[in-house]
Structure 1
Amino acid sequence: MAQAVIIHRLATDESPDCTDYRGKFIQLNPGRTHYRVFASAPLHRFHNRIVAHFAADRNIAHRWVNNQRLEIQAPEFTVVGGEKFRADSVGKTPELRDSSQAYGRFDARDLAQAIAEAGHPWSCFHVRIA
């Protein structure tokens, strides 16, 4: 299994420990590392903005194809897909649902295992995919 990395993006005034934490999630595979990037709703309303933020942080060449679609200009980099998420820290259940209009649905295989092995705060949660 490839290395899995979980990244959390929050607005400056947010806490991931809240009881009802919502946002969007994108799965990226730039080479051998699989990234799952979770961004809170106040920070990024659209999946393409999460991808742009990720690419800019890592100096990965990218360009806007149209208002909704961002193209990554690195052959080894793929955007697998994305969804919305809601994390209930009291019930210890992050739920992933729907799919990205720009990138489609993510690959659910091994997601729970990747979160558990990544040392993420949700490692002890039961991941629900709707």
Structure 2
Amino acid sequence: MPTVLIDYIPFYYTSIAQTAIPPVVSGKFVQIRNGNTLYLVLSPKELTKYHGNIVERFCMDKGIEGSYDTKREKFAILDQAWVIVGGGKFERDGIYKAIKLYNNSMAYGKFDATGLKELLIALPEFSGYTVTIE
């Protein structure tokens, strides 16, 4: 399955915080599928408090329509070709070249771990990384 990494870490630190990317970054992520393409969207905790905020930003960047539920906790994509698979948390260590994906999303449920380790290792951004999925 083709996998596209959308990483908001550089955007947040260079454009918003205007600082160097720290060696260790933690945050949340969501998996979004369109057809046979999986999008893995990472966002530092300082940029997005909720998984719904990550989905909203992804949709704004891609020009995809969506809306929040009444509590503004869950952002739904209106185009049914796009499916929010699930989400979780991550810790990425640039010094030790390690990334851990774990936990789940209160809004979207547990992420799909099937084959995720192999998909991450195949991405150039994680070449040489130790990948842990919990």
Structure 2: which 5+ residue stretches go unaligned?
A: none
Moved over 4 A (4+): none
Aligned equivalent of 1:63: 67
For the residues of structure 1 that align with 2:99 and 2:44, how far apart are their CA atoms? 13
Structure with the higher helix share, 1 or 2: 2
Instruction: Give the TM-score of the pair, scaled to structure 1.
Output: 0.89
Aligned equivalent of 1:8: 7
Structure 1: which 5+ residue stretches go unaligned?
A: none
Residue by residue, what CA displacement relative to the aligned partner does 1:62-93 show, whole Å, maximum 9, x if unpaired? 11122211111111111011111111222221
Aligned equivalent of 2:38: 34
Using the TM superposition, give the Cα deviation of residue 23 of structure 1 relative to its aligned residue in structure 2, in angstroms: 0.8
Secondary structure at 1:7's aligned position in 2? strand
Kindly report which structure 2 residues correspond to 1:72-111, keeping only aligned pairs within 5 A, or say none: 72-111=77-116
1:126 aligns with 2:130: yes
Aligned equivalent of 2:23: 19
Secondary structure at 1:124's aligned position in 2? coil
Aligned equivalent of 2:47: 43
Secondary structure at 2:100's aligned position in 1? strand
Secondary structure at 1:127's aligned position in 2? strand
Secondary structure at 2:104's aligned position in 1? coil
Instruction: Give the TM-score of the pair, scaled to structure 2.
Output: 0.87
- Could you say what the CA RMSD is over the residues aligned between the two structures, in angstroms? 1.4
Query: Which structure exhibits the higher relative contact order, with contacts defined as CA atoms closer than 8 Å and separated by 6 or more residues?
Result: 1
For the residues of structure 2 that align with 1:108 and 1:25, how far apart are their CA atoms? 13
